Amino acid sequence: MNQTPISDCLFCRLAAGEGDLIWQSETAAAFNDIHPQAPIHILVVPRRHIVSLAETNPSDQAVLGDLLLSVAEVARQSGLEPDGYRVIINTRDHGGQVVEHLHLHILGGEPIGPLRARS
């Protein structure tokens, strides 16, 4: 598991400032998703390269807590707090993870609906 920023990781490069960040802290960065699934679709990533949630361990507790606090702050600053929003972490192939860098999706701006269509 690679925990340091890597040059060929898109999200490492974006978090380092190669893209349009909408929010940042010492440990996390946020930017708009290029394929939005809602009127507001923001990604929050750790600045340190972590492959996925499945690759974390107890030593990552502070980073994981900071990511959740970062999501709350980004949602507040984006005006999502009054009506609510959804936070999603996709993990590995079956979970729908496309980029191998832990990231949290913030979706809002309209009612999101169920996670899956019911049969």
Confidence of residue 6 (pLDDT cuts 50, 70, 90): confident
Structure confidence by residue, pLDDT tens digits, 16-46: 999 899 999 999 999 999 999 999 999 999 9
2 pLDDT higher than 70: no
CB atoms within 10 A of CB 50: 23
User: Domain holding 73: CATH number?
Assistant: 3.30.428.10
Q: In this structure, are residues 103 and 43 in contact, taking their beta carbons and an 8 Å threshold?
A: yes
- pTM (2 decimals)? 0.91
Annotated catalytic sites, by residue? Answer: 103
Domain residues for the domain of 78 are: 10-108
Residue 5, domain member (yes or no): no
Structure confidence by residue, pLDDT tens digits, 86-99: 999 999 999 999 99
Helix (H, G, I), strand (E, B) or coil at 44: strand
Please report, as a single letter, which amino acid is at residue 42: I
Residue 66, domain member (yes or no): yes
